Amino acid sequence: MLVRNLDFLSIPKEFSKVEIEIYDNKSIALVYIENKGYSLVLKENGEVDSVFLLKTDILPHNVNNHADREDFINVIKMLLDKIYSVSDIKEYEKQHQEHVFLRLMDMLTEGDSVEKINEDNSETYKDIEKGFMKLEIDIMDNKINALNSSIANVSNNLQAAVDDIEENKWGNKIRKSIDQNNWG
């Protein structure tokens, strides 16, 4: 009998979403998926342009000194760069990625403009749910591939060791035979 616990695929039935306007009808939404991570959504005129999943254990109320903080901020920077790449805006008018990150996290923590999204009221929810399930499966596939690669390496190294031992045995037998028969 095979048994599989699919709890790792369980996604909360409701996400918390906050959104800030960045520039020229372009906004960034941050969706918090409890015990899974976040999704960053780039929107233009209210329509989803890009969706990124971030699997991390950063909590909205505790973002300082976390190992994933810089990576998270770099994804926001990439989204901001995409927004600003098609506009002629002065550098000092652009929003800084760390400030956007902190503002989004503060909005989640303070409950300021938090929208609850679920399967019934949001297409974004469905995309994120499918994306996280696919991400979990991809992570498992990567671990399995790494394990298979390690097993293959150990197997190859073991075979090489056996070959060396057999070669040494034959070499020792030949030497012993030569020594016993005084051929050398």
In a domain, 153, yes or no: no
102-117 per-position pLDDT tens digit: 999 999 988 878 888 7
Global pTM value: 0.69
In a domain, 69, yes or no: yes
Please name the residues in contact with 94: beta carbons below 8 A apart, sequence gap of 6 or more.
23, 80, 84
In a domain, 53, yes or no: yes
Tokens in use for 178?
């030569």
Identify the domain containing residue 84 by its residue range.
12-139
* In contact, 104 and 20? CB cutoff 8 Å: yes
d(CA 169, CA 154): 22
In a domain, 172, yes or no: no
d(CA 153, CA 139): 21
Q: In the chain, how many domains are there?
A: 1
* In contact, 79 and 28? CB cutoff 8 Å: yes
Confidence of residue 58 (pLDDT cuts 50, 70, 90): confident
- Please give the helix or strand (H or E) that residue 144 lies within, else none: helix 123-180
What pLDDT, on a 0 to 100 scale, did the predictor assign at position 181?
Answer: 66
Among 49-53, 65-69, 123-127, 172-176, where is mean pLDDT lowest? 172-176
Share of the chain above pLDDT 90, in %: 16
- Please give the helix or strand (H or E) that residue 148 lies within, else none: helix 123-180
What pLDDT, on a 0 to 100 scale, did the predictor assign at position 123?
Answer: 78
Most confident region among 5-9, 67-71, 134-138 by mean pLDDT: 67-71
In a domain, 165, yes or no: no
d(CA 141, CA 146): 9
Mean pLDDT (the chain, rounded): 80
Which three-class secondary structure state does DSSP give residue 61?
coil
The total number of residues shown for the chain amounts to 184
d(CA 95, CA 86): 15
Interhelix angle 69-85/97-110, rounded to 10 degrees, is 110
In a domain, 6, yes or no: no
Share of the chain above pLDDT 70, in %: 80
d(CA 161, CA 166): 9
Comparing CA positions, the residue from 92, 128, 102 lying closest to residue 15 is 128
In a domain, 16, yes or no: yes
* In contact, 101 and 108? CB cutoff 8 Å: no
